[in-house]
Structure formats: structure tokens, C-alpha cells
Amino acid sequence: MNKILNPTKADWPEILKRPTQTVADIEQTVNQIFDEIKAKGNAAVAKYTELFDGIKLDELRVSPTEVQKAEKEISEELKTAIKLAKSNIEKFHSAQKTERVSVETTNGVSCWQEKKAIQKVGLYIPGGTAPLFSSILMLAIPANLAGCEEIVLCTPPDKEGNVNPAILYAAELCGVTQIFKIGGIQAIGAMTFGTEDVPQVYKIFGPGNQFVTVAKQLATKYQVAIDMPAGPSELLVFADDSANPAYVASDLLSQAEHGADSQVIMVSTSEKFIDKVSEEIEAQVKELPRKEIADKAIENSRLILVSSNDEALEMINEYAPEHFIICSENEDFFVDRIRNAGSVFIGNYTPESAGDYASGTNHTLPTNGYARQYSGVNLDSFMKTITFQKISEEGIKEIGSSIELMAEAEGLQAHKNAVSLRLKDLK
């Protein structure tokens, strides 16, 4: 990894730059595929599935028989692990439920808000070299807890036209209503516009590569909401001499192996510790089956020495990492002051992979600096809030004259009349 010692603040933007393409680089491709799906439906989806995934499919939908077969192919040990993760994720997300908020703002004026489930949601689950069945748990579980009526899942097929059995098992376990063998841009397009087989959804969730990220962003032009602009995975670790260099190196590599466009960064106040971590990375990466991918991600990554915890914190908040690990003798300093991060992992025994799988928190998180303004997926992500109000005769008398004066000051006479007529009848 690239070592950077005591950079000036003027150098931070370049040092912290993500290895991602801009929307403009990908937008033309996405728009072309979207236009074809809008016009030709299933035929366009099948065309791009053959082009990008190398398989010609006669049927996009996963059949019940395929789901039943997948369950038999999963080991009992993996099933038990998935069920443990499911239990913890359910506990954490169930705890996020809130009651109706109700208040009488003035005598006779009652206002309240209630949360309602988004009826139709789409889940995108990456497949390929790393079939992320864990993302199904993170998305389908809160969708079901929220009460979503349709939960549509799209995931790319392999070269034989199959879906990884763990994906199918997790989808069935977590209550997904329909599963389709569609990946990439064409999956986002299918859920955005709907096809003969794929339902149009109201909101799309799930991680993906840069093409999926841009496709999700462009889907918002067509009255479809998205969870967040979640792209390639990233991790930032702050570690000082109290940390274990082998643990830190393993955490950095755990994210580097996601993809060549992933990025991992360590910030430290100890040059000696940076050297130890660098040695550990060189040793550990040699043993990884995904070494080639991790090596490419490491080219985009940094080991940064700073002079103080204050400088480290300022840099971390500017970077706004998706995942932030704190291994410091002054952990409370960082815990209390972090402002921009998707999810935070504290202490030597809290690996980022715990949040990826089984601790209970959600791993669908904002990347590319969007942690400055976005939250990670949670129960509320699958709901929207509707406000209600009811005003009595006494209530309209209380606030009516204020409404009239404000409407008149804005030059909206019909607004004023809507109150004046009622007040006149109550005299």
C-alpha cells in the first residue's frame, strides 16, 4: 500500500480521492440500455443478459423447483450460520420500530404522523465472483418487518444460467416474493420500468459496481426512489500503537478483496505501526484466493501518517468512509466526534466483517463520500411517513385569522377564502 507521511491539508483531496468513474463516463451506456428496456421489455433484458453475463435465458424468473433444489445444496452448517445472522438482524431492526407521533398543537388542532410501508421494493444482489447472499438478509428482513407487499429480487446468473444456491436459500428464508436472473444495468432498468415479467417497483435497494450505482441514480429520473448511491466498498481504519497490526491488516484486506475498485485506508499517528501493518498486508495477501483482486484494490489504497488525533479525525470526517474502524487507546475521542461515517466498528475485537454478516447492523451503507448526508439502510428506509391533521370548530377559530393574514400577505386569495368561508359560518 502507498505510504503517505504527514501530508499537508492542501494535499488531502488528492490523497482521499476515490478510484471511481464519474456518472458522465457511464451515463450514456445506462441511458441506452434503459431506453431499450422501456421499449422492448423482456427481450431487451435477455439481450443484455446474454451480452454481459454470457448466457441466453428462455426464462428470467427463478422457478419454485430451483429454490427447492438450492435448499438441498446448502450445508446444514451454512444454514445455521444464516439463521443466526437472520435472528440478530431481526432483533436490531425490530428495535427500530416507533409508535405514532401525535400532538395537539393548539386547542382543537390535532396533528399526527404514521409510518406506512413502501408497497413494492426491488432488491439488487450482486452475484459473479462474490455472490452476496448476506445482502438479502440486510434488505429483505427489514422490508418484511416494515410490511412491504412485494419484494422483488434481481441477481445475475452464472454462465450456466443458474443462481448461487445460497442466494436462493436466503431469499426464500427472508420472504422475497419474486426472484429474477437479471444483473447489472438491465436489472435496475427492469425494476424501474417493469417488463412483461418483472414488476415495476417504487424503490430500489442494494449494492453494486459503478454501473449499477449510476443506473440507480438515473432511475430516480423515472419516479423510482433508491436507498442511496452505494458503489464500490471502502474502509477506513484509525489505529495507533494499542492496536494489533495483524488484525488491522486483515480488516483492510477484507474490504480490498471485494473488488478492484474498492478502496481501503489506514490513518495512524504512529509510523512504526504503519510499517508493521504494511508488513502484515504483504504476508496475508499472499494467502488469499482473491489475491489478484485485492492487489488491484491496494493500488488505490493508502497508509497515512498524521501528527495528532485531532488531525486524524478531521481527515476522517472529510473522507466520510462507508466503514470506519477505531482501534485506539483514545477510542471515546473518535466515537464521540465522528460525524461522517456509514457504520462504525470499535475495538480490536470488532472486525468489519461482523457487520457484513451477523452482528445485527445493516451493511448496505453510503459510499463515495455520501456518508456526509446519507444514512445506511434501516427499517425506516422501507417506510414513508404520512402526516394527518384534524381541526375542530374551536381549532379553526384559534388559527383561522393567522391563516387568513398569511395567505393574504402571499397574495393567495383562494387560500384565505377556504378559511374565511368556514369562519363566517361559525359566527
Tell whether residue 209 is among the known ligand binding residues: yes
Tell whether residue 124 is among the known ligand binding residues: yes
Tell whether residue 93 is among the known ligand binding residues: no
**Beta-carbon neighbour count of residue 60 at 10 Å?**
22
Tell whether residue 247 is among the known ligand binding residues: no
Tell whether residue 410 is among the known ligand binding residues: yes
Please list, in sequence order, all residues whose beta carbon lies within 8 angstroms of the beta carbon of residue 349, skipping any fewer than 6 positions away: none
Q: Is residue 243 within 8 Å of 274, Cβ to Cβ? A: no
Q: Can you tell me the distance from the alpha carbon of 50 to that of 53, in angstroms, rounded to the nearest whole number?
A: 6
Packed helices 165-173 and 133-146: angle between N→C axes, nearest 10 degrees: 10
> Which of 322, 329, 352, 393 is the catalytic position?
322
Known active-site residue 322? yes
Known active-site residue 363? no
Assigned C-alpha cell, 240: 495507533
Tell whether residue 50 is among the known ligand binding residues: no
Tell whether residue 88 is among the known ligand binding residues: no
Q: Can you tell me the distance from the alpha carbon of 209 to that of 213, in angstroms, rounded to the nearest whole number?
A: 6
Tell whether residue 323 is among the known ligand binding residues: yes
Tell whether residue 258 is among the known ligand binding residues: yes
> Which of 93, 323, 352, 363 is the catalytic position?
323
Tell whether residue 340 is among the known ligand binding residues: no
Could you tell me which residues are annotated as the binding site?
Answer: 124, 186, 209, 233, 255, 258, 323, 356, 410, 415
Catalytically annotated residues: 322-323
* Residues annotated in a binding site for NAD(+): 124, 186, 209
Extract the annotated binding site for substrate: 233, 255, 258, 323, 356, 410, 415
